[in-house]
């Protein structure tokens, strides 16, 4: 039941993440991509909330943490079904998902299976949630007919149904699994030291990388800055906990284009590979094997740019990411709450051109205008991924020399 509760909680968090556009500002509905307010987006708010909630609940009772977790689930659902609308709804969704992540990390404690279930479910739903929505709305797939009560026109009935079912299961399983559990307190000082500035700094770096006039040099400089942030944050976390953050950062770098999902079969394969990778990582954890797998994926991506091969690296990516992540668990609950959003907040934009159409001088023609957002080509992306994984491997090797952290709170 403890593992099931974490799977469902992770799914709700990840599914909410998949509904938050990284560059949509929560400060202004008219904010544009080049605006500084774009830095304060839903993912940043989610990451900050997860950190604060995990610290605030570090010494709470299980029942108190359960109240926060179930309340956060309700907030996410109310926003999904259109009962909390507009800018307030956007903030509520981001804060609710972050609070659920932080509370779930505390409930998972240092239970390795529970942590792995929470992490894999959140990452899988976050990366595959949009594909699931497309599948549910496909003409040749299952279509749900349900009129959602609420004033929000953007409500997706299929997503609302899935979220309501998942939320109900989450609330019940969380209560059944953790109502009589004695929670173990964990360190909070370093969690705040890393968890608050990291997503904000990562947002600033992403903003520079995605500027309209940025080129290869600017993008590579932003990636180097992001790598420095990840390494510094990893060493600031207690003991060896920073390895989780490093693995997720490396995964975000080489997986910038996401998993290969175009139909129901590919979606099922990606989910299956996530589960199998996590299971093998739980049974036979080998950090360096996982990092080696990330290197292989980055190398395969490089070769695919010049040889007509199937997108093997994209299919292998969920398996390798899940294996590498589970191999470095368990960790302190606060460190887990800080590290998990990094897969989304520390991923740089890689769109080369965005084509837009503007009315021409004559009424009979339109002009296509290509706007540059960032300019790294396939070779640059692949080589950068290889370098990042190599740096992460060295940093993890240094962290392995540290003594394991005493779970007692400081």
Q: What is the pLDDT of residue 150?
A: 44
Q: What is the pLDDT of residue 146?
A: 45
- Residue 390 belongs to a domain: yes
Rounded Cα distance, 52 and 58, in Å: 10
- Classified as helix, coil or strand, 358 is strand
Residue 44 CA to chain centroid, in angstroms?
11
**Tokens at residue 67, please?**
């109240």
Q: CA-based diameter of the chain, in Å? A: 73
- Which stretches of the chain drop beneath a pLDDT of 70? 22-24, 28-37, 138-154, 211-215, 256-260, 304-313, 350-376, 405-410
Residue owning tokens 């960790």: 331
Instruction: Look at residues 257, 344, 246, 373 and name the one whose alpha carbon lies nearest to residue 44.
Output: 344
- Residue 146 belongs to a domain: yes
- Residue 322 belongs to a domain: yes
Q: What is the pLDDT of residue 352?
A: 46
Predicted structure pTM score: 0.88
Q: Please name the residues in contact with 306: beta carbons below 8 A apart, sequence gap of 6 or more.
A: none
Q: Where are the alpha helices (DSSP H) in 328-407?
A: 333-339, 342-345, 378-399
Q: Where are the alpha helices (DSSP H) in 255-362?
A: 264-283, 287-304, 312-327, 333-339, 342-345
Q: What is the pLDDT of residue 37?
A: 65
Neighbouring CB atoms inside 10 A of 228's CB total 13
Q: Which tens digits make up the pLDDT trace of 330-350?
A: 999 999 999 999 999 998 876
Distances (CA, A) of 146 to 156, 160, 161, 162, 356: 10, 9, 8, 12, 35
Q: What is the pLDDT of residue 309?
A: 55
Q: What is the pLDDT of residue 148?
A: 46
Residue 247 CA to chain centroid, in angstroms?
13
- Residue 365 belongs to a domain: no
Q: What is the pLDDT of residue 41?
A: 87
- Residue 407 belongs to a domain: no
> Residue 58's domain spans which residues?
2-357+372-399
- Residue 367 belongs to a domain: no
Rounded Cα distance, 101 and 288, in Å: 27
DSSP label at residue 39 = G
**Which CATH number goes with the domain that contains 243?**
1.20.1250
- Residue 410 belongs to a domain: no
- Residue 26 belongs to a domain: yes
Distances (CA, A) of 36 to 28, 52, 218, 349: 11, 24, 17, 16
Q: What is the pLDDT of residue 36?
A: 64
DSSP label at residue 367 = E
Q: How many domains does the chain have?
A: 1
Element (H, E) at 357: strand 353-359
Q: What is the pLDDT of residue 43?
A: 92
């Amino acid at each position: 039941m403890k593992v099931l509760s974490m799977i469902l909680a992770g799914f709700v968090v990840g599914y909410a993440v998949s509904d938050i556009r990284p560059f949509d500002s929560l400060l202004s509905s008219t904010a544009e991509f080049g605006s500084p307010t774009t830095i304060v987006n839903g993912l940043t708010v989610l990451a900050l909330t997860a950190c604060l909630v995990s610290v605030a609940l570090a010494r709470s009772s299980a029942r108190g943490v359960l109240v926060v977790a179930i309340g956060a689930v309700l907030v996410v659902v109310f926003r999904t079904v259109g009962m909390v609308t507009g800018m307030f709804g956007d903030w509520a969704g981001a804060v609710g998902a972050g609070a659920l992540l932080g509370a779930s990390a505390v409930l998972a404690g240092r239970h390795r299976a529970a942590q792995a279930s929470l992490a894999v479910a959140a990452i899988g739903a976050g990366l595959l949630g949009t594909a699931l929505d497309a599948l549910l709305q496909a003409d040749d797939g299952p279509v749900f007919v349900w009129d959602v009560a609420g004033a929000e026109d953007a409500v997706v009935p299929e997503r609302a149904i899935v979220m309501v079912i998942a939320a109900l299961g989450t609330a019940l399983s969380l209560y059944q699994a953790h109502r009589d559990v004695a929670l173990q307190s964990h360190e909070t000082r370093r969690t705040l030291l890393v968890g608050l500035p990291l997503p904000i700094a990562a947002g600033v770096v992403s903003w520079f990388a995605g500027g309209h006039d940025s080129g290869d040099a600017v993008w590579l400089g932003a990636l180097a800055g992001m790598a420095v942030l990840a390494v510094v944050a990893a060493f600031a976390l207690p003991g060896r906990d920073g390895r989780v953050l490093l693995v997720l950062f490396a995964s975000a770098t080489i997986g910038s284009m996401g998993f290969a999902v175009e139909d129901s079969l590919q979606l099922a394969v990606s989910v299956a590979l996530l589960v199998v990778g996590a299971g093998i990582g739980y049974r036979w954890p080998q950090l360096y094997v996982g990092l080696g797998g990330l290197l292989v994926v980055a190398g395969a991506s490089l070769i695919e740019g010049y040889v007509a091969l199937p997108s093997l690296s994209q299919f292998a990516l969920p398996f390798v990411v899940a294996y590498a992540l589970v191999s470095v668990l368990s960790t302190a609950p606060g460190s887990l709450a800080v590290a998990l959003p990094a897969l989304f907040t520390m991923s740089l934009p890689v769109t080369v051109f965005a084509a837009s159409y503007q009315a021409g001088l004559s009424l009979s023609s339109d002009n296509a205008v290509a706007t540059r957002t960032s300019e790294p080509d396939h070779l640059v992306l692949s080589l950068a991924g290889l370098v990042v994984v190599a740096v992460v491997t060295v940093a993890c090797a240094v962290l392995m020399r540290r003594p394991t952290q005493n779970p007692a709170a400081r």
